[in-house]
Structure 1
Amino acid sequence: MVLRPQKRISNKALTVWRISGVITSVIGWSITATALFLLHIFDAPFWISIILVVLGILFPCLHIFVTPTLRWRSWRYDVREEEIELEEGIFVKTRTLVPMIRVQHVDTNQGPILRRYKLASVVVHTAATAHEIPALEETEAEELRFFISKLARTAEEDV
């Protein structure tokens, strides 16, 4: 029996990701409106405009309502003495183990939308990559950053 990581990210992540979806949709609608205008000027076939309008409705619905919920449900993590385990993915599940011995440093990131909802992301850096745990409560993110850096120092001293 394979155990999944147990800790979840904040449910406020849904709101943050939905706001990001709205912003992405507004940009997409602007591009779609420009394309429709150009298609009209150059007398393009009407079916192309219909496809663009349908996509202009479908993609925002996915980005605002469906994807954030599926993404939130799939995100889990655990921090253990020897490793950090991350699980994410809607259709393709990715499970990552980051050994504490490989951790070089840990950051917290907080953009304007995350800051508004008192959330932060924890980024764990190794020599090769960076792994992010998104949308944690600010206090939890700071505690986790400190805890991981402490475990990484301990793991390094044990070698």
Structure 2
Amino acid sequence: MFPENTTHQTTEQAVTIHQPTPLATIPAAPVIPIQPGMVPAVTSVVLPDGRVITGYAIAPSQPEPVAAKPVVSRTAVNIALGGIGFGAVCGGLVLLTTFIAALAALVQQLIILAAVIFGGWIAVQVFTAAGQSKSATTVNIRKAVIKRNHFHGR
């Protein structure tokens, strides 16, 4: 391989050996015993060319029934019912505001009536007390002469 006249230089290199890691064994799936009455029947079908295919008959999957959609959407029904309810309430609200306005006018008139009655009672008390007082002093003023800021009664 090498010519005899050439010198061969060998170098030692570190060799790393990788050992494969064994895979974890996967346990086999548990076998579920099937009742003899539940085993489906094996069916054989003969094709036109003479071949025979044997297998289990599989029932075709039935699609789930689609829920029938209503003719009118629920949102539209809810909006309509809300409008009907609001219309029914509006008449009551008008009557309520009318009742509150009438009650406020009644209270206002009662306050005015009380002020008139109480004011009249006070006026009667003041004017009748002045005319019926027995301890009042009566002063008759006759001709008086005022000279130089001095009163001279006659």
| Same fold per superposition (TM over 0.5) | no
TM tier, smaller: under 0.3
**TM-score normalised by length of structure 2:** 0.21
By relative contact order (CA 8 Å, sep 6+), the higher-ranking structure is 1
**TM-score normalised by length of structure 1:** 0.21
